[in-house]
Amino acid sequence: MATIKGMNLTLKIWRQKDANSKGKIETYKVKDISDHMSFLEMMDVLNEQLISENKEPVAFDHDCREGICGSCSLHINGEPHGPDRGVTTCQLHMRKFNSGDTIYIEPFRAKAFPVIKDLVVDRSAFDRIIQSGGFVSVNTSGNTQDANALPIPKADADKAFDAATCIGCGACVASCKNASAMLFVSAKVSQLSLLPQGQVEREERVLNMVSQMDDEGFGNCTNTGACEVECPKGISLENIARMNREFLKATIHKEE
Amino acid sequence: MSISAILKSSIAKKWLMALTGLFLCLFLVGHLLGNLQLFIGGWDGTVKFNEYAEFMSSNPIVQTVAWITKILIGVHVVLALLLVINNRSARSTNYKYNRPDKNAKFSSRTMGWMGTLLLVFIVVHLVNFWAPMHYDNEFPVQLNEAGNYYTADGIEQVNSYLQKVEGKQHVFINKVDMGLAMRDLAKVTKDFFSKTENGVTALLMMILYAIAMLAVAFHLSHGFASAFQSLGINHKKYNGMIKLAGMAFSFIVPFVFAAIPVYLYVTQA
């Protein structure tokens, strides 16, 4: 086993008591951080330290710590989910940093993602966008249909699956200079519009989801591609183009 | 969807941005092809360019397209402002520490700034050439070595003289009005970038025009390909081609545009 390197770090962390308070950056120091730790484990060490000093621990979102739930967030050194590519913050290892580093840790910033406390933001705008997409019609008469009975081209199935890997963490919004949610929304639109099961509500879905996205106060897309770079699941910009097409088709075709 | 709902939508605004942007790309090509005639030296070049300028400022189809271009520039600018206001408000609190250079290109992050620079340049450019050509009744007219004036249709009028009719310069022979005089935009343009005619202003203008074309290059290097993405054209087979066309376009067009004032400044005394 590799030797465990003890890292000493300076952390500049956004502290905010609650949604209505004015927050500010506070400086903390942590010692002997193992390079095997994940970023969130390092945050745990800091919180243990704060608790032992009778101070309020730093609030941050986390759940599975396996990179699949989309709970963890954090804007680390100017990038959502930190400097590594294709990983969430929980999967970001401390070996990506060096002893003596100063690390800035801020919440994801967007008007549609208001800060609840410290580094925790309210991402329920994403839930409302999903809800606005509505249901997928399923045939419930008679026997359950075999999933394989519907032939789907391999390329379409792959693309739908790639889009479906979006965990809704919001890194796309956090990285976008316009705080646009188009990568997220386009992944959700694409996933169903590519599959036969998604055809029935195809037009309503894209119109409603885009309209909800705009109502939530997310910005517009400038095609900078920052979202695609920072996305822990590698969701492609191709999805945004697809959403633009779907929206165009639905707008022209739908009567009401 | 109702028309007002469509116009409110973020994606519809992006289509309009893309469509107006691509139209303006076409305009650039046309404008550049016409301007290439400034590279032709001597009397021949002057005549060719002036005939072209008179055609462009009198042909009804060209004039219609010119007004459409001006309106679409306006639409492009107003939409950009609406988008920027919307985008700014989408992030009310900024990051204390942000590294946008880690995930997006400079050209894509500065579309608004380069666009603003371009708008200022367009106004300066119109004030320099378009406004005097259209509104200055003392605008220089084409006069050859033999001392003859030309009418706007390009015909040399022997033993002619100038006289104003309703404020406009007309060519006369023996008190007979032969028509509007051909204006000498070629000379005006060449003098504008000439050291002897315009002094240090010529140098400053050459630099300003070159900087403006650099802004065009940055604006196009993102805008051209980005317009296709906004319109939903993103396809494995064609992406490479669009990207390459965008790169070539954003390099060649502003480069040749900028070469004109540089050429005129360097080659003239």
Per-residue pLDDT of chain B (269 residues; tens, 9 = 90+): 667 777 789 999 999 999 999 999 999 999 999 999 999 988 999 999 999 999 999 999 999 999 999 999 999 999 999 999 999 999 999 999 999 999 999 999 999 999 999 999 999 999 999 999 999 999 999 999 999 999 999 999 999 999 999 999 999 999 999 999 999 999 999 999 999 999 999 999 999 999 999 999 999 999 999 999 999 999 999 999 999 999 999 999 999 999 999 999 999 97
Q: Is the pLDDT of residue A5 over 70?
A: no
Cβ separation B8–A247 shorter than 8 A: no
pLDDT of B8:
83
Q: Is A21 on the interface with B (CB under 8 A)?
A: no
Q: What is the pLDDT of residue B239?
A: 96
| Whole-number percent of chain A with pLDDT over 90 | 91
CA distance A245 to chain B (A): 5
A220, B87: Cβ pair inside 8 Å? yes
pLDDT at A144 over 80: no
Pair of tokens at residue B129:
């050439």
Write the ipTM. Answer: 0.91
| B146–A contact, CB cutoff 8 A | no
- Give dist(CA B129, CA B31) in Å, integer: 13
Q: How many helices (H) and strands (E) does chain B have?
A: 11, 5
Q: What is the pLDDT of residues A33-84, one digit of tens each?
A: 999 999 999 999 999 999 999 999 999 999 999 999 999 999 999 999 999 9
Indicate the average pLDDT of chain A. Answer: 95
| Residue that the structure tokens 């545009």 belong to | B257
Domains and CATH numbers, chain B: 3-90+103-138+198-267 (1.20.1300.10), 141-182 (no CATH)
Instruction: Provide the pLDDT for residue A174.
Output: 98
The one-letter amino acid at B220? L
Contacts of A141 (CB under 8 A, 6+ apart): none
Cα dihedral: B245, B251, B257, B263 (round 10) = -140
Inter-chain Cβ pairs, chain A and chain B, closer than 8 A: 138
At residue B232, φ and ψ (nearest 5 deg) are 90, 10
Going along chain A from its start, the domains and CATH numbers come out as 7-116 (3.10.20.30), 123-138+147-253 (1.10.1060.10)
Q: What is the pLDDT of residues A203-253, one digit of tens each?
A: 999 999 999 999 999 999 999 999 999 999 999 999 999 999 999 999 999
Structure tokens at B88: 């700014």
Is B90 within 8 Å of A218 when comparing Cβ atoms? Answer: yes
Q: Do B86 and A112 count as a contact with CB atoms less than 8 A apart?
A: no
Chain A contacts in chain B segment 4-33 (CB below 8 A): 5-6, 8-15
pLDDT at res. B132: 95
State how far the Cα of B100 lies from the Cα of A200, in Å rounded to an integer: 40
Chain B contacts in chain A segment 98-137 (CB below 8 A) = 104, 106, 109-112, 115
The whole-number pLDDT of residue B116 equals 97
Q: In this model, does residue A3 exceed pLDDT 70?
A: no
Chain A contact set for B97 (CB, 8 A): 12, 77-78, 104, 106
SS3 content of chain B, % helix, strand, coil (to 5): 70, 10, 20
According to DSSP, the β-strands at A7-15 and A24-33 are antiparallel
CA trace torsion B136, B140, B142, B146 (10° rounding): 150
CA gap A77, B93 in Å, rounded: 17
Q: Is A51 on the interface with B (CB under 8 A)?
A: no
Query: Inter-chain contact B9–A224, Cβ cutoff 8 Å?
Result: no
CB of A245 within 8 Å of a chain B CB? The answer is yes
Strands A115-117 and A7-15: unpaired
Is residue B139 exposed (0-12), middle (13-18) or buried (19+ Cβ within 10 Å)? Answer: middle
For chain A, helix, strand, coil in percent to 5 are 40, 15, 45
The verdict on B97 touching A (C-beta cutoff 8 Å) is: yes
Distance CA B258, CA B212 (A): 8
- Amino acid identity of residue B247, one-letter, is M
User: Which of A217, A223, A140 is closest to A177 using CA atoms?
Assistant: A223
Residues of B whose CB is below 8 A from A238:
234
Mean pLDDT (whole number) for A21-25: 95
Which of A 166-185 lie inside 8 A of B, CB atoms? 175, 177-180, 182
**Mind telling me how many Å the CA of B71 is from chain A's nearest CA?**
22
pLDDT at A25 over 60: yes
Question: In chain A, which residue's Cα lies nearest the Cα of B224?
Answer: A223
Q: What SS3 class is residue A126?
A: helix
Determine contact: A57 vs chain B, CB below 8 A.
no
pLDDT in tens, A175-203: 999 999 999 999 999 999 999 999 999 99
Please tell me the predicted confidence (pLDDT) of residue B4: 76
Substitution target in B79, B89, B97, B222 with the highest count of A β-carbons within 10 Å is B97
Residue A39 at interface with chain B, using a CB cutoff of 8 Å? no
The CA distance from A116 to the nearest CA of chain B, in Å, is 14
Q: Which residue of B has its CA nearest to A241?
A: B232
pLDDT at A2 over 70: no
- The reply to whether B93 touches chain A by the CB within 8 Å rule is yes
How close, in Å, is residue A201 to chain B by CA atoms?
16
Reported as type and span, the H/E element at residue B173 is strand B168-173
Interface check A86 vs B, CB under 8 A = no
- Are A78 and B97 a contacting pair at CB < 8 A? yes
